[in-house]
Amino acid sequence: MALRKIFREFINKRVLSPPLLTARHCSSSAAAPKIPHSAKKGRLLTGATIGLVIAGGAYVSTVDEATFCSWLFSATKLVNPFFALLDPEVAHRLAVSAAARGWVPREKRPDPSNIGLEVWGRKFSNPIGLAAGFDKNAEAVDGLLALGFGFVEVGSVTPVPQEGNPKPRIFRLPREGAIINRCGFNSEGIVAVAKRLGAQHGKRKLDETSRNPSSSTDEVKHGGKAGPGILGVNLGKNKTSEDAAADYVQGVHTLSQYADYLVINVSSPNTPGLRVLQGRKQLKDLVKKVALALRLDGLIISNTTVSRPDPVSKNPVAVEVGGLSGKPLFNLSINILKEMYVLTRGKIPLIGCGGVSSGREAYQKIRAGATLVQLYTAFAYGGPALIPQIKAELAECLERDGFKSVIEAVGADCR
């Protein structure tokens, strides 16, 4: 009965609400009554989604919640081909809007116990996170965490709103499981993101208080400021800014109250002069000015690459300027990860990012020194169904090799 009620509420709130796709995703004019091609695709996608919901309604009355949850995640694979028909940036915008509105499955099943871990005084239900770049403006934090990610990183957020680089600026390489982007920190700015996170934070606190009026602050907190999951905020500098440190300081002061961790992004290849800040002296000065007293709590290894390793180099799209992400980045990034783990002697948590598309690859990142793992491109191609699959595979790898937890496996290949 509870599931039937949930489904009825879903129908009332989602299917009967205004259409997800809006006019901003297509072009139209009074002189051209013909329905635009992108609008046709959008209607087809909406129809397919409604069909899945109706099918789910018929299915939900005969199964338990865990089984239905599994079915719903698997069913999202049917929608992936429709996203592939759309322009990459339109598809991205649609995916963020869907997550923001709750048009995504919610993970109700508990994560395997052996993939939970504690980092920075927070308990992560799993080490799999969504990298920055997907939800640039913190529009869909709750929806993305509900998919089952252990943590979500929003941004990069710049102090002042900026358009980013001219379009088109995102290019798919589906055969290689890769993407080239040159977005250039397109951002609504710190003020807009702070308002959005503040509203979400206030609502969450109110809900928590109503559910649990008394709680102890002495024990390690489950989840973080974003509720059951951990929220990171990635900070960037404006393209025309002459004082990068001031940009980052503004981000820290404004957004730290809403984030469990902050990231100083000095590695994007799409902002002129940004990577100059990676120099030893420049980075040391920057960290001092951002008031961290040279104490870093972690490092993300790595960002996209401007190189074009095989087989990408043979693809005509490879000539596009921008950062390459996805499967071809895996070997490059895991080698750097191992080097950094050795250099830091395993004393600070490393977040392994680059080319992860399976639980086995997430496990390889962990053995190479990563405490946490991020993905993005694989999620863009595989959709929500990929998340429970990665977590299940990771749990199996740990159990197979005799590790009782993620922490036991961290850096196993570097010892």
Residues catalogued as catalytic: 268
- Per the structure block, which two tokens stand in for 306? 């401007």
Q: How many whole angstroms separate alpha carbon 225 and alpha carbon 202? A: 10
- Per the structure block, which two tokens stand in for 155? 């941004």
- Per the structure block, which two tokens stand in for 20? 């997800």
Non-local CB neighbours of 71 within 8 Å, separated by 6+ positions: 56, 59, 63
36: exposed, middle or buried (Cβ count in 10 Å: 0-12, 13-18, 19+): middle
Q: How many whole angstroms separate alpha carbon 130 and alpha carbon 353? A: 10
Q: How many whole angstroms separate alpha carbon 309 and alpha carbon 306? A: 10
Peptide bond into 307 cis (omega under 30): no
Residue located via tokens 């002061």? 253
Non-local CB neighbours of 250 within 8 Å, separated by 6+ positions: 159, 190
Q: Is the dihedral of CA 237, 238, 243, 247 positive or negative?
A: negative
Residue 315's alpha-carbon distances to 86, 178, 269, 312, in angstroms, are 20, 11, 20, 5
Non-local CB neighbours of 34 within 8 Å, separated by 6+ positions: none
Query: What residues form DSSP beta bridges with 351?
Result: 300, 372
Q: How many whole angstroms separate alpha carbon 184 and alpha carbon 181? A: 9
Tell me which amino acid residue 370 is: A
Q: Please provide the DSSP assignment of 148-159 as one string.
A: T-SEEEEEEE-S
Nearest by Cα to 59 from 50, 51, 68? 68
